[in-house]
Amino acid sequence: MPLDAGELDSRIQKLRKSLKGFSRNPTVEQVHDLRTRTRRVESIFQSLDMASSGKERKLLGELKRVRKRAGKVRDMDVLTSHVIGLGLDEDAECVVRLAHHLGVVRYRNARKLHAEVRQHTGRVRDRLQRSRRKLDAAIDGFGKTKLDLGTQAVDAEEAPLHAISEALRLSRELAAVRHLGRDNLHPYRIEVKRLRYILEMAESDGRQQHTLIAELKEVQDLIGEWHDWVQLSGIAHKVLKQHNGCKLLKKIEQTTRRKFEEALRAAERVRQQYLQRQRKTGGRARRWFAPGPVLVAASEIAA
C-alpha cells in the first residue's frame, strides 16, 4: 500500500498546532506532544529525502533546537514521576529534596523552551505549511512507482523511494550489532525508533507490519525507561551525596539494574525474531539480506 498521505499531513498540522501559543509554563502533555511531533516531522523530511534544499535544512535545524529544548523539560517530567512513584516510605527527606531539585531544573528548562519556541514559531509554522506542497509531490511520486525487489536501486530523482532505502539501511545496521550492553543500548534505541517511524508512514492493514511496529515500540520504550533511570541515578547521587545510607539511592540503583535487564531481554528477543543478521554464501561471495518481516513492512511504503 502507498504512503498514508492523510497521516503525514496530520503530523505536520499537529506540530503547527503545538507551536502556536506554546505556554510559558507548559504541562507535561504539552511538552511531550511538542517533542514527539517534532521528531515525527523530522523523520518525514529525512526519510523522504526532502532535506536537500536550503529551506528544508534550515527548517530541520530549527526543529532540532526546539526538540532538544523540549527533551530537557521532558526528562525532568519523567524523572520526577519516577521519584514520586517510589513513594515517601523509602526516605521522605531524600524524596522531597530530589523532587524539588528536579522541579527547579524543569522550571528553568521550560523557560528556555518557551523562549526558543517564541523566537522561531512564526517562521517554522510558515515553513511547515509551505513544505506540505513538497510532501504532496513526494507522495505522488511514491504513488506512481512500483517497488521491484529484483532490480538495482531506483534513481531517487525519478522515484522518491528514499524511505524504503532508509528502512533497509537501518535494518542492516541494527542487524550488524554483535553485542548489546550498557554502552550501546541507548544508541540502538535511537535507530529502532527511526526504523519504526519510517514503517509507520505507510498505509497498511497487514498484521505482520503492525506486529513488527508494536515490537519495535516496546523495545524503544523499555530501553528509554532504563535510560531515564540511569539519568536519575546520576542526578540522585549528586543531589543526595551528603545523605549517607539514603534508602532512596539504593532503591534507584536496584530499579536501574532491573530496567536494564528487562530492556536487554526485549531487545535481544526482537533481534532474534526480526533483526537477525542473515547471510547467504555463494562461492566466496557473501551478501547481507534484509530479514523477511522488515522487507515486507518496508515494501508497504511503495504503491
Full DSSP string of 15-26:
HHHHHTT--SS-
Asked whether residue 272 carries a pLDDT value surpassing 60, the answer given is: yes
pLDDT greater than 90 at residue 256: yes
pLDDT of residue 44 exceeding 50: yes
Cα 17 to Cα 38, 125, 151: the distances in Å are: 11, 9, 42
The three cell numbers of residue 22 are 506554546
The C-alpha angle with vertex 88 and arms to 87 and 90, in degrees rounded to 5, equals: 85
Give the pLDDT score at 79.
Answer: 97
* Cross-strand pairs, 202: 3
Q: Once rounded to an integer, what is the mean pLDDT over residues 75-93? A: 88
- pLDDT tens-place string over residues 179-205: 999 999 999 999 999 999 888 877 666
Query: Degrees (nearest 5) of the Cα angle 288, 294, 297?
Result: 140
Q: Tell whether domain 5-299 is in CATH 1.40.20.
A: yes
Whether the CB-CB separation of 206 and 174 falls below 8 Å is answered with: no
Q: List helix spans (H) across 185-283.
A: 185-199, 207-239, 247-274
Residue 291: pLDDT over 60: yes
| pLDDT above 80 (res 43) | yes
Residue 47 — very low, low, confident or very high, per pLDDT cuts 50/70/90? confident
Residue 100's alpha-carbon distances to 80, 109, 227, in angstroms, are 9, 14, 21
For the chain, the 3-state helix, strand and coil shares in percent, each to the nearest 5, are: 70, 5, 25
Q: Which three cell numbers stand for residue 227?
A: 535510560
The candidate with the shortest Cα–Cα distance to 120, out of 62, 61, 36, is 62
Those residues with Cβ within 8 angstroms of residue 177's Cβ, 6 or more apart along the chain or in another chain: 184, 188, 271
Q: Confidence class of residue 165 from pLDDT cuts 50, 70 and 90?
A: confident
Q: How many CB atoms lie within 10 A of CB 243?
A: 16
Q: Residue range 110-116: average pLDDT?
A: 95
Residue 278 confidence (pLDDT): 53
**CA–CA separation, 174 vs 216, rounded Å?**
12
| 302 band by pLDDT with thresholds 50, 70 and 90 | low
Once rounded to an integer, what is the mean pLDDT over residues 8-12?
Answer: 85
**Whether pLDDT at 160 is above 70:** no
Which three cell numbers, joined as nine digits, stand for 101? 531539585
**DSSP per-residue string spanning 232-253:** HHHHHHHHTTTSTT-HHHHHHH
Q: Give the least confident one: 101-105, 153-157, 202-206, 224-228.
A: 153-157
In angstroms, the first-to-last Cα distance of the chain is 5
pLDDT band at 92 (very low <50, low <70, confident <90, very high): confident
Average the pLDDT over 138-149 and give the result. Answer: 53
Give the span between the Cα atoms of 195 and 166, in whole angstroms.
Answer: 8
Confidence of residue 117 (pLDDT cuts 50, 70, 90): very high
Amino acid identity of 234? G
Highest mean pLDDT: which range of 107-111, 237-241, 287-291: 107-111
Ranges of each domain in the chain: 5-299
Name the pTM for this structure.
0.82
State yes or no: pLDDT of 150 exceeds 70.
no
Whether residue 142 is predicted with pLDDT greater than 80 in this model: the reply is no
